[in-house]
Amino acid sequence: MHRIGLSLLAVCLLVAGCGGTASGPPTPTIAPADLSQRIAEVIRQSQSLQFLLEFTGEPAYADPAGLFRLISIEGGLQRPDQAIATLKVRSVAGVADVRLISLDGQLYVTNPVTRQWTCVEQGALFDPVVLFDSSQGIDYLIRDVFENPTLMPPEEIDGVQQYHLKGQMQGSSLIDITYGMLGLGLVEVDVWANAETLQPTRLVLVDTGTNAEDPTTWTMTFSDYDQPIDIRAPITCE
């Protein structure tokens, strides 16, 4: 009986082992450059997504005087031109939230002091909608600016198999989309995408031109593709 048990265990382990191999990431049969094109196309086709953009390393400031340091931006993007986000901003007095909505070409932002909604002209602030812009957003960057993509060994993030592409982008290509917060030098890029859907899950941009020891780093995490997002105007602008 004992031997039968051991034999069954061995068979189970063998089957599990085989199963593991069988359910691993599919070996891509396309070149890394083609894979990046397909990933970019998946983003272009996506109607909405949730994102978290975290700023680490050499500080990125939200104002010219350098008093308000950006910590993170978290929210959602929806085509054609809608965004909802909360910016976490740090000053000497503490960390504050700034809420932002971008809708039909109009930008709404809460006053960090009074928390009242105000209307802001396009271009006055970093607008997350730009991340979905086909002419300068994420899909454009991965499709047209991503240089020398190399496919790294497959990885698992949160239990999901991922492709990992590594490469660079010229800093000058990122200045506009990042409001000048990135692009001082060559930018090292890492992209992870769901191995089955090719939806990007993470994008890391490291600006090597900022600080050699602690470079400015943007880590973008994407999730909840194609889920509807409630975005509406908080006030009426005159």
Partner 1 sequence: MAHPASTQATVQPRINPWITLSLVCIAVFVGSVDLTIVSAVLPRIVTDLNVSIDSELSYASWIISGYLLTYTISMAFMGRFSDLIGRRMMYFVCLLIFLLGSAIAAIAWTLDLVILGRVVQALGAGAIVPISMALVGDLFAPEKRAPALGFVGAIETIGWMVGHLYGGVLMALFDDWRLLFWINIPAGLLALGLTWWALRDVQPRRASGTFDWPGALLLSASLIALNVGLSAGSELGLTDFYGQVQGLPPYALPLVLSSLLLFVAFIVVEQRVRDPLIDLAMFRQPMAASACLINALFGFVLALALTNVPLFVNARLGLLNPTDMTILRTAAWDSGWLLAALTLTMGLLAVPGGWLTNRLGLRPTTMIGLVLTLVGFVLLSTWQSDTSYLMMSIQLMITGIGMGLVISPVATAILQSADAERRGSASALVITLRLVGMTLGVSVLTLWGVYRQNMLRSNADAAAQAGIDYALASSDPAQFLLAVATTVIGEIFLAGAIASLLALVCAWWLRPVLDETRGEHRAT
Contacts to partner 1 by CB under 8 A: 67, 71-72, 84, 86, 88, 90-97, 99, 110-117, 232, 234
The nearer residue to partner 1, 91 or 170, going by C-beta atoms, is 91
Long-range CB pairs of 180-185 (<8 Å, 24+ gap) are 181/55, 181/60, 181/61, 181/70, 181/126, 181/216, 181/218, 182/60, 182/207, 182/216, 182/218, 183/207, 183/209, 184/209, 184/210, 184/216, 185/209, 185/210
Cβ at position 238, least distance to partner 1 in Å: 17
The nearer residue to partner 1, 87 or 205, going by C-beta atoms, is 87
The nearer residue to partner 1, 94 or 105, going by C-beta atoms, is 94
Compute CA 15 distance to the chain's CA centroid, rounded to the nearest angstrom. Answer: 37
The nearer residue to partner 1, 28 or 234, going by C-beta atoms, is 234
Cβ at position 93, least distance to partner 1 in Å: 4
Residue 35 CB neighbour total at 10 angstroms: 20
The nearer residue to partner 1, 136 or 221, going by C-beta atoms, is 221
In 3D space, the residue among 205, 217, 206, 199 whose CA is nearest the CA of residue 162 turns out to be 199
Cβ at position 71, least distance to partner 1 in Å: 5
Q: Report residue 25 as tokens.
A: 């990431």
In 3D space, the residue among 98, 125, 121, 124 whose CA is nearest the CA of residue 111 turns out to be 98
Cβ at position 117, least distance to partner 1 in Å: 6
Cβ at position 88, least distance to partner 1 in Å: 6
